[in-house]
Amino acid sequence: MKLVLRDLLFIFCAAQTIGVRIQSDPASSGGVIQTELKTTVSLLCQPEGSAETETDEELVWLRNGVMVSLKDDNKIGRSSVCVTPVIYEDNEATFTCHLSNNATRRASITLNVTYPPELSGSAEVSVEDSADLILNCDIWANPPVSSVLWTLNGSEVDLVAGRFTVSNDGFTGRLSSTGIERSLHEGVYQCTVVSPMYGTFSKYFQVTVTEKTIKFPLMPMIAGIVVVCLTSLLAVVARWRTFVKCFKSCKN
């Protein structure tokens, strides 16, 4: 009795659900493959269900909805795709495999490419007295960084005393201040970023405040000269027009 029931169930399944299945290396979990930059991800798609009758099914791969071109011998019965090396743009890329004659029989898998923030080394920054100071730190990472901290000479920057503004758009952490003064703003700045996955990263900035130089306002003067020339030119053209008009009317 038990046996009959199982056989019936098998026949039912074979007739009903003939989908496709994706196997991957590294293995996926919940439809997501965890991977890192410069690694390799291999994907293999096969029809599932009643394997015997479906092995000559043609398969199609899509990456974010765009068809992946496959060699002819990599389409029938089973089809593999290799992502190598994994790049930033592969993060959240979805690979879908389906039967070429029935797109509803499909399976998908998404990549989660993790990478640390690219932050290291030091920079020398020289800013004129009274000018603006802007320091940037690249904080783009997956998973996103959990904190960005700015210090000056080893202590957390005093936002009020230094008239500092701190911003963070997910790509760049920025510390800025306007109208800087040597006594308040010169020193060693450091941005320290914490990645929940990759740890702590820092970058140093040696900021020097220099004497203000008096700049000769060259650009406004050039603009002034150009305007004067243009005006005289237009005046000449206008007068020439009246002259021609006058000349013509005289002739007639």
Ligand X SMILES: *[C@@H]1O[C@H](CO)[C@@H](O)[C@H](O)[C@H]1NC(C)=O
Binding residues (CB under 6 A) for ligand X: these are 32, 34, 102, 104-105, 112, 114, 143, 152-153, 184, 186-187, 197
Give the Cα separation of 171 and 174 in Å (integer).
10
Give the Cα separation of 83 and 22 in Å (integer).
14
User: CA angle 182-186-188, nearest 5°?
Assistant: 175
Residue nearest to ligand X (CB): 187
Q: What is the DSSP string of 76-111?
A: BS-EEEEE-S--GGGTT-EEEEEETTEEEEEEEEEE
Give the Cα separation of 180 and 124 in Å (integer).
16
In the complex, least distance from residue 57 CB atom to ligand X, rounded to whole angstroms: 11
In the complex, least distance from residue 112 CB atom to ligand X, rounded to whole angstroms: 4
Of residues 60 and 152, the one with the C-beta less far from ligand X: 152
Of residues 104 and 249, the one with the C-beta less far from ligand X: 104
Beta bridge partners of 210: 128
In the complex, least distance from residue 2 CB atom to ligand X, rounded to whole angstroms: 28
Of residues 105 and 203, the one with the C-beta less far from ligand X: 105
Of residues 16 and 232, the one with the C-beta less far from ligand X: 16
In the complex, least distance from residue 1 CB atom to ligand X, rounded to whole angstroms: 30
**Residue 217, class by beta-carbon neighbours within 10 Å (0-12 exposed, 13-18 middle, 19+ buried)?**
exposed
In the complex, least distance from residue 10 CB atom to ligand X, rounded to whole angstroms: 17
Of residues 31 and 85, the one with the C-beta less far from ligand X: 31
